[in-house]
Amino acid sequence: MKFILDTHILLWWLADDKKLSLQIREIITDPKNIIYVSSINIWEIEIKKSLGKLQAPEIDSEIIAKCQFEELPIYIKHVSALKSLPNYHNDPFDRLLICQSIVEKAQLLTDDSLIAKYQFNKS
């Protein structure tokens, strides 16, 4: 299966944070799964760091590769999907991740209860 990490899940994984559920840990470590880190994740992290709202390590392609994750760029088809996305969630980063998840037919791994309102996210 294909999965996209929500930004907090990526940060929890990198920090080996106890907030990361066993279920998500098992999904991430299952070699049969493809785990994507989106450009959106890095964009969100860098913006929040520059605003002083987040302290996080530098995350680059080498770190993503070491974790055996795949990079997922932002394509026009992802942004275009915004026009048909219900407005349950107002966070622009999460909305784009949701669109990527829909377009790429990949489950978005998250702990955000608002994202659960989008039916695509049910496994």
Cβ neighbours, 10 Å, residue 57: 11
**Count of structural domains within the chain:** 1
Residue 66: its pLDDT value, please? 96
CATH number of the CATH domain containing 64? 3.40.50.1010
Q: Does the residue 71 lie in any domain?
A: yes
Q: Does the residue 123 lie in any domain?
A: no
Q: How confident is the model at residue 97 (pLDDT cuts 50, 70, 90)?
A: very high
Residue 71's DSSP bridge partners are 37
pTM of the full structure: 0.89
SS3 107: strand
Q: What's the DSSP call for residue 114?
A: T
**Torsion sign across C-alpha atoms 98, 100, 103, 105:** negative
Q: Does the residue 40 lie in any domain?
A: yes
Q: Does the residue 121 lie in any domain?
A: no
Q: Does the residue 19 lie in any domain?
A: yes
Q: Does the residue 109 lie in any domain?
A: yes
Q: What are phi and psi of 97, to 5 degrees?
A: -60, -40
Q: Does the residue 119 lie in any domain?
A: no
Domain carrying residue 58 = 2-114
Residue 123: its pLDDT value, please? 40
More confident residue, 112 or 34: 34
Residue 118: its pLDDT value, please? 66
